Amino acid sequence: MSSDTVISVRNIGKTFRIASTQHRATTLAELVAQKLRKPFTRHSRETEFEALHDVSFEVDRGEVLGIIGRNGAGKSTLLKILSQITPPTRGEIDLHGRVGALLEVGTGFHPELTGRENIYLNGAILGMNRREIDREFDSIVAFAETEQFLDVPVKRYSSGMYVRLAFSVAAHLRPDILIVDEVLAVGDLAFQRKCLGKMGEIAREEGRAVLLVSHNAAAVRALCERAILLDRGRVVHDGEVNDVLRSYLDIEPSGAAVLTWTETNAPREGGFRYRSVAVLNSRGEPASVLSHDEPFTIRLEYELDRPLPGLRVGFLMQTTEGVEVCGSNDVHVADEETRQPGRKFSECRFPAHLLNEGRYQLRFGADVPHGPVYILTPYCLEFSVEDHERHGESRYRLPGVLRPALHWAIDSTSPAIG
């Protein structure tokens, strides 16, 4: 470990014990019923789940480290250990300096306190005195763009407003180590770019360490020179960012063609809730692998609790390398200016012979401009396009994202141009 090392992780592991009982009593009646059943049931057993296994790495001052891996790889558990929210089961961690963490919407702020009060509360938690917080206060508010809501309890903030203020607090209160999870994905695109720029500034100009977890390959590539890849709780690759991203694409499956949210984890805001999203092939069937020469459909299922005038529902698409492809919404085809309560579907149809062979990711949004709804999910659905046609004498992938069926002609009689 060098004198510039601010994070040293040595062979840490985390094991969770999971009880075999399926239901925990929440009412007096359920508790009495469980007590009565106890003599007739076997003793409950516990199983162990190893979320992290012998994880080791170091991060130096001024370094931005990307942490990538599929869902369930152990990324969130690792960040919670580094943020000292939960201890490791074994192994050692040395952290040199104050840690600022932005892990998920809802953590770090007290919902009953105002934005102003939470700024001072977070500063105090980081060990700063009031004078130090005062010095950064105006910069925090200006960066978050929440001036008019400073004296409103944060429980009334939208998820986007919450994240803007939470990131600004974490970035400006000068932690020696800044840890940022995929939570930034709920903010708007302009603010996400602003946050990425700020993280780069924190590392380059202020010499602080940044740990970034993201499924956005372009963001990881732009900010990080080094990354680590987690798979099933182990570090399987630690090295130059492009090499690690290639390894990630090798182990990441093409993904399911349908994503369904539960009542508890569905993206929701202001009376709008997503239910499911899907990629459908030319036969209307969910498909994670499409042929280049067939049309396909992106279908969004959602529910409204109340009338929402001006609602727009749509998606953004990128390649798995982070190259933006397109975005679209249904605002121009809505049957009614004010969508009424109930369950609805919006579908976007793509023609055949459009996308090139490759892998693509989708994120989904919904908003009412200047209104109560703003949702932008992480990239959460993935599909592949395969091209079985031959290009001339050999089989190779043409460059670019698009592969349209263009019409050519050869004519020796056309007049010269110019």
pLDDT in tens, 344-385: 999 999 999 999 988 899 999 999 988 888 898 988 898 989
Same domain (yes/no): 233, 272? no
Same domain (yes/no): 222, 290? no
Q: How many CB atoms lie within 10 A of CB 106?
A: 13
**Residue 127 within a domain:** yes
| 23 Cβ contact list (under 8 Å, min separation 6) | 30
> What is the predicted pLDDT for the residue at 10?
95
Domain count, the chain: 2
64, two tokens: 């931005």
Same domain (yes/no): 269, 305? yes
79, two tokens: 């960040």
CATH number of the CATH domain containing 298: 2.70.50.60
Give the 3-state DSSP-derived string for 352-399, with helices as H, strands as E and coil as C.
CCCECCEEEEEEEEEECCCCCCEEECCCCEEEEEECCCCECCECCCCC
Same domain (yes/no): 168, 277? no
Q: H or E stretch including 189?
A: helix 189-204
Helix (H, G, I), strand (E, B) or coil at 337: coil
Q: H or E stretch including 327?
A: strand 324-329
Phi and psi, residue 333, nearest 5°: -120, 10
Share in percent of the chain as helix, strand, coil (round to 5): 25, 35, 40
Helix (H, G, I), strand (E, B) or coil at 217: helix
Q: Which of 197, 219, 251 is the last residue of a domain?
A: 251
CA distances from 110 to 119, 142, 145, 348, 414 (A): 10, 21, 20, 40, 74
| 138 Cβ contact list (under 8 Å, min separation 6) | none
> What is the predicted pLDDT for the residue at 386?
82
Helix (H, G, I), strand (E, B) or coil at 69: coil
Same domain (yes/no): 222, 356? no
**Residue 113 within a domain:** yes
**Residue 102 within a domain:** yes
DSSP 4-48: TEEEEEEEEEEEEEEES------SHHHHHHHHHHGGGSPPP-EEE
> What is the predicted pLDDT for the residue at 390?
47
| 321 Cβ contact list (under 8 Å, min separation 6) | 217, 218, 245
> What is the predicted pLDDT for the residue at 97?
86
What is the separation, in whole angstroms, between the first and last Cα of the chain? 68
Asked if residues 287 and 256 have their Cβ atoms less than 8 Å apart, the reply is no
> What is the predicted pLDDT for the residue at 371?
83
Q: What is the pTM of this model?
A: 0.64
Read off the pLDDT of residues 301-314 as tens digits, 9 standing for 90 and up.
999 999 999 999 99
- Rounded distance between C-alpha atoms, residue 264 and residue 360, angstroms: 27
Same domain (yes/no): 247, 264? no
* Sign of the torsion formed by the C-alpha atoms of 26, 31, 37 and 41: positive
> What is the predicted pLDDT for the residue at 91?
94
Give the 3-state DSSP-derived string for 141-172, with helices as H, strands as E and coil as C.
HHHHCCHHHCCCEHHHCCHHHHHHHHHHHHHH
Domain limits at 182? 5-21+44-251
Q: H or E stretch including 116?
A: helix 115-125
Same domain (yes/no): 218, 269? no
**Residue 32 within a domain:** no
Same domain (yes/no): 158, 265? no
Per DSSP bridges, beta strands 46-60 and 324-329 are unpaired
- Mean pLDDT estimate for the chain: 84
Nearest Cα to Cα of residue 368 among 337, 326, 344, 346: 337
**Residue 93 within a domain:** yes
> What is the predicted pLDDT for the residue at 223?
86
Q: Which of 203, 226, 251 is the last residue of a domain?
A: 251
**Residue 296 within a domain:** yes
**Residue 215 within a domain:** yes
DSSP 237-249: EEEEHHHHHHHHH
Helix (H, G, I), strand (E, B) or coil at 86: coil
Q: Count Cβ atoms within 10 A of the Cβ of residue 400 and give its class: 0-12 exposed, 13-18 middle, 19 or more buried.
A: exposed
Intervals of the chain under pLDDT 50: 254, 390-394
Same domain (yes/no): 103, 224? yes
CATH number of the CATH domain containing 228: 3.40.50.300
> What is the predicted pLDDT for the residue at 279?
96
Strand partners, 374: 367
| 112 Cβ contact list (under 8 Å, min separation 6) | 153, 155
- Rounded distance between C-alpha atoms, residue 332 and residue 415, angstroms: 43
Same domain (yes/no): 270, 169? no
**Residue 400 within a domain:** no
Same domain (yes/no): 116, 240? yes
Per DSSP bridges, beta strands 296-304 and 272-280 are antiparallel
Same domain (yes/no): 99, 231? yes
